Structure 1
């Protein structure tokens, strides 16, 4: 009886507070931060046991190893959620008449964005703490823009469709991290390293170049709805994707040059 009583109380607390609409933004951010900590610790334990080369790395390299595991798990999670909401869910469908698409949201979409905010907060904290070892100023700018725009969309429910479109670009992160792992393991001349470079090139072209063009086109087609957003939200939709698009082009040029060097060495 006592066990059932505790179980009922736990279910009531979960329903009334943790999963209540008004608490979802906060609980999801906390969930995202704790998930990052858990992945970091599990990666450290798993790598120590199953990867002999892990113990030979420097302390900073082991930190980056664990950090990249966090970003990989976040990328997989948010890419799946973003693809679902943008292309499969009816939440942002033009055929639905549940108000303007720029003001549509759900408990699940808000939770997904909150978990992403938790990740970006945890990651930017690590980047600043170990600066510049885990990333230069471009990473700080990228994460600050991401935190501000994703947090605003999560808290207000505005522009969630375009936020998820931008977050689809995280699909390139696992490939980038795998490249670092291969490099650290001394496999730069392996076939896997070459294939990884080609995959990154294609993924970046689709997710960070072509998809952004689609985003700008979608904003153009729905500008009558976009312009009804609050000023701050309108600025985020108008400015942040453009800044990220410029950064994506700069990184894409570096990817092209790196792929050329890799192909030239194998000839």
Structure 2
């Protein structure tokens, strides 16, 4: 796949995600949730941002999983495999990252977050390097598996915004799924990922990558994984707190039952 095709996909992705944010999300949200119209301007901005985030996560996350399971090119050569499917997936993600970054800056007062800026800029740099130098494409695609946890994270925010009770069945189930998914695709993969990095260190294929890509690979992944661990700690604390409150609530009901 040539540079023109990659840029075309990136620009198409950018335009689609902008259209989703400015037009489609509000229209769709009004249809499925009448409460959307009652939200403040600030809440609507974040709502639309999270709808777009969910769309992006589902597209690139599922596509990434498919590539990991069935793309023979990247399986055969994880460091130098040249896969058109990976290029398409990364280009889509680049379009989203640029789109979301612009929205974050434009609506900084509403959705501005330094952690997200660092995350997006790190990912942009890493994915650009992969496409520009034609190496580590399978690594970039593997990192996109992390997006499979984002729909659950966004759904938690939707439930909170719509004022679903914390102990409601759908809220609790989503919280458990969010914690499990986040752990599996962002934390559990850390040890085998760095073991793979260690296993290829010093090989001929690794040396051909060059010091710039080697250092970029290491630094970007370390930065992203530090963030993932930080977010995992926050999610785990929240999950433990909810479980503790549920137990307290059950104990209170049992005590009231005995009293009655």
**TM value normalised by structure 2:** 0.88
Q: Which runs of 5+ in 1 are unaligned?
A: 1-19
Q: Is 1:137 equivalent to 2:114 in the alignment?
A: yes
Correspondence for 2:69: 87
Tell me if the contact between 1:113 and 1:150 (Cα under 8 Å) persists in the aligned partners: yes
Number of corresponding residues: 243
Correspondence for 2:172: 194
Tell me if the contact between 1:81 and 1:112 (Cα under 8 Å) persists in the aligned partners: yes
Tell me if the contact between 1:179 and 1:196 (Cα under 8 Å) persists in the aligned partners: yes
Structure 1 residues 108 and 221: CA distance shift in structure 2, 3 A: same
Q: Is 1:57 equivalent to 2:39 in the alignment?
A: yes
What do the CA deviations read for 1:83-118 (whole angstroms, capped 9, x no partner)? 12223211122xx3xxx5322222222121111100
- The range that moved more, 117-126 or 39-48, is 39-48
- The range that moved more, 137-146 or 148-157, is 148-157
Structure 1 residues 208 and 135: CA distance shift in structure 2, 3 A: farther
Shift of 1:252: 0.8
Q: Distance in 1 between matches of 2:176 and 2:31?
A: 31
Q: Is 1:210 equivalent to 2:188 in the alignment?
A: yes
Moved runs in structure 1, 4+ residues, more than 3 A?
none
Question: What pairs up with 1:1-267 in 2 under 5 angstroms?
Answer: 21-40=2-21, 41-93=23-75, 96=76, 101-187=78-164, 188-223=166-201, 224=203, 225-267=205-247
* Greater fraction helix: 2
Q: Distance in 1 between matches of 2:147 and 2:44?
A: 23
Q: Distance in 2 between matches of 1:221 and 1:87?
A: 21
Could you say what secondary structure the match of 2:111 adopts? Answer: coil
Q: Distance in 1 between matches of 2:193 and 2:160?
A: 34
**TM value normalised by structure 1:** 0.86
Q: Distance in 1 between matches of 2:54 and 2:68?
A: 21
Q: Distance in 2 between matches of 1:132 and 1:143?
A: 18
What do the CA deviations read for 1:184-208 (whole angstroms, capped 9, x no partner)? 0111331111111111111111111
What do the CA deviations read for 1:129-152 (whole angstroms, capped 9, x no partner)? 222532421111000001111122
Q: Which runs of 5+ in 2 are unaligned?
A: 248-260
What do the CA deviations read for 1:153-212 (whole angstroms, capped 9, x no partner)? 123221111111111111110000000000001113311111111111111111111112
Correspondence for 1:5: none
Structure 1 residues 47 and 137: CA distance shift in structure 2, 3 A: same
Tell me if the contact between 2:148 and 2:185 (Cα under 8 Å) persists in the aligned partners: yes
Could you say what secondary structure the match of 1:104 adopts? Answer: coil
Tell me if the contact between 1:24 and 1:110 (Cα under 8 Å) persists in the aligned partners: no
